[in-house]
Amino acid sequence: MKRRLALFTAGLATTAPLPAGEPAAPVQRVVFVHGIFQPGHWAFGTLRRRLEAQGIECIAPTLTPCDGREGLEKLADQLKNEINQQFGPREHFSIVAFSMGGLVSRYYLQELDGAGRCDRFITLSTPHHGTQIAYLYGGEGARQMRPGSEFLARLQKSEGRLGKMPVSSFRTPFDLIILPATSSVWERAENAEFPVIAHPLMTRSDAVVSAVEERLFAQRKTAE
């Protein structure tokens, strides 16, 4: 029991190593995309405050309906409009997305021409291959998040449109919302596992927040 606790504590205190890659543009703007049932201001509070304190311009749009019952494409359209309104139609940014927000973001990047403007994409506990728990909820968005859905197949087919964009997918093995938890493993991405005890705590974990910051600020370091 003590050994398990020690391993768990150590996991929370460390971050995944930063992978080698091509230099990217310095991060100046970050778009946070919330998960199901969340308004934008509920998600990423700690991370957003830390980035803003370091001069990063951040936005966290509230996409409606927040359960995605009218389809994730509709939320992706809203995301595109919010980005254009806040940053203009050409400025570059990075995206950090949680859970369902990762799929919404992928649709925007891959199907709505957002990839040309995004310098880095990070997802936290996103069901890239669907989640069994989506069978317990109704609505188009839930159907799209079920394993083997046409929506997920479309994203897999068009992921080449991301080009050379650095992509990371963070997950926890204790996730009871993304079932199985390995559904967050995305072959296109750098994948990292964090022993966070619950799905909603992924955006609050110090280890996860530090790993996200490390990847975002690596862009600054390579440009200096």
Please determine, for residue 22, whether its predicted confidence score (pLDDT) is greater than 70: no
> Using CA atoms, how far apart are residues 92 and 30, in angstroms rounded to an integer?
9
Domain residue ranges of the chain, discontinuous segments joined by +: 26-217
Q: Among 89, 97, 98, which Cα is nearest to 117's?
A: 89
Quick: pLDDT tens for 109-131: 999 999 999 999 999 999 999 99
- Rounded to an integer, the average pLDDT of 180-200 is 97
Sign of CA dihedral 27, 127, 145, 154: positive
Q: How confident is the model at residue 40 (pLDDT cuts 50, 70, 90)?
A: confident
Give the model's pLDDT for residue 42.
Answer: 78
Residue 9, classified by CB atoms within 10 Å of its CB into exposed (0-12), middle (13-18) or buried (19+), is exposed
The CATH class of 26-217 is alpha beta
- CA-wise closest residue to 107 among 95, 92, 125, 124: 95
* Half-sphere exposure (Cβ direction) of 17: Cα atoms closer than 13 Å: 3
DSSP tag of 44: S
Which among 189, 191, 190 has a CA at the least distance from the CA of 181?
Answer: 191
CA-closest candidate to residue 102, choices 24, 25, 38: 38
Residue 18's pLDDT band (boundaries 50, 70, 90)? Answer: low
Amino acid symbol at 13: A
Candidate from 40-54, 65-79, 84-98, 159-173 with smallest mean pLDDT:
40-54
Average pLDDT, the chain: 89
Percent of the chain with pLDDT over 70: 85
* Contact between residue 59 and residue 153 where contact means Cβ atoms under 8 Å apart: no
pLDDT of residue 151 exceeding 80, the answer is yes
